[in-house]
Amino acid sequence: MSSRRKFLHKLTASVMAMPLLPLEGLAGAQPENPATEPLETQVSEAEPYQGPMLRVAIMGLGGYGTMVAEAMRACKKAQLVGVVSGTPSKVSAWQTRYRIPVKNCYNYQNFDEMVNNKDIDAVYVITPNGLHKDHVIRAAKAGKHVICEKPMAINAKEGQEMIDACKKAGVKLLVGYRIHFEPKTLEIIRMRNAGEFGKVMFFQGLSGFVIGDPKQWRLNKQLAGGGAMMDIGIYSVNGSRYMTGEEPVWVTAQETKTDKVKFAEGVDETIQFQLGFPSGAVASCLSTYSMNFLDRFFLTGEKGYAELNPSTGYGPIRGRTHKGELSFLHVTHQTVQMDEMAEIILNGKQPVVPVDGEEGLKDLKIIDAIYLAAKTGKKVTL
């Protein structure tokens, strides 16, 4: 995770400079041991998909939007058909690269007109956190299902407003929790549900990297809603919940800031936080923008343990338990995510771990409590 931002920057530049690639491009499935496990033998027998297709417009054509677009080349059930951007040159480049018709291209001023476009089913909002609420509500009013990148909003109040707006419009609201579909993560959840760890006692989540450009929007309180917690710390917040299988009932937190110029008022650099769960299990987590090599989840119970390291990076995820290494074919997370979300939106599929707006709201309520606990120095009851 330490090079996450640099990777996105390089990926965007290289992708937009390349000619159109075949489907296997950047988003193709990658076996963890290519020398002994050729991809062709893994997927050649799959039947062509004949079902309905979720037609998606991506809003926000930055680094992560590009990653999602590339991953969607390999999707069977979701298709990139539209874009929303305030940068005409990006729209033009994406039109060429992804064969997007002019009628499916919008900017931030006119995308409400999408209400008249029957060729777009859903909008994937990948804009700065502080813009999520407005963009999601406008997309919902245009009659489109919405997928919103995490965190869903900058606080729980805004998150609830987004949920209410989508319900009123009769559209679904999902959140970009790609790890909720990751096979090693799901195997640990299966093992926990089967009692293979016994009573869960403790979870540790470490999420952090050294952030670069001090002028980027992630260090702007108005656009980001905070600092590291609103970007990387949410992984440990969310992970503590799906790894333990419980919702926390209390929070304590401590903030550390070493650079008050780079990390201005309201922009957190490092927060350590602790969560207590109804069973008596506890979590100890770290969210930071000033330390590298932090992408690890650890769960221990009376009978065994599980570790993911890296736990939330773009892949492959590495996992092991007291029973040995976890081995599953790695497929680009966003490819799996978009196909699974197509199933949820089109066919009402229920995922193992929810990815709806209510799930996003639960994380926001915890983050609000973490900020309050760090500010007051007191335990906050949830």
Tokens of residue 352, six digits: 């193992």
- Of 90, 133, 144, 150, which one is the catalytic site residue? 150
- Cα separation, 333 vs 84, whole angstroms: 23
CA distances from 374 to 202, 207, 287, 302, 365 (A): 21, 17, 12, 31, 14
CB distance 301 to 199 below 8 Å: yes
Query: Kindly report the CA angle at 147 between 146 and 151, in degrees rounded to 5?
Result: 125
CA distances from 49 to 53, 77, 78, 195, 304 (A): 9, 8, 11, 36, 40
- Cα separation, 150 vs 267, whole angstroms: 17
Q: What is the identity of the amino acid at 290?
A: S
317: which residues sit within 8 A by CB, 6+ positions away? 179, 182, 184, 185, 308, 310, 311, 330
The bridge status of strand 324-326 relative to strand 319-321 is: antiparallel
For every residue of 112-134, DSSP letters joined together read GGGGG-TT--EEEE-S-GGGHHH
Is 235 in the active site?
yes
- Residue recorded with tokens 């997928």: 147
CA torsion, ordered 273, 268, 228, 109, to nearest 10 deg: 130
Distance of CA 272 to the CA centre of its chain: 21
Q: Helix (H) and strand (E) counts for the chain?
A: 11, 15
- Of 106, 235, 242, 289, which one is the catalytic site residue? 235
Burial class (CB in 10 A: 0-12, 13-18, 19+), 374: buried
CB distance 312 to 179 below 8 Å: yes
Q: Give, for 273, the enclosing helix (H) or strand (E).
A: strand 270-276
Q: What is the identity of the amino acid at 259?
A: D
Is 371 in the active site?
no
Instruction: Catalogue the active-site residues.
Output: 150, 235
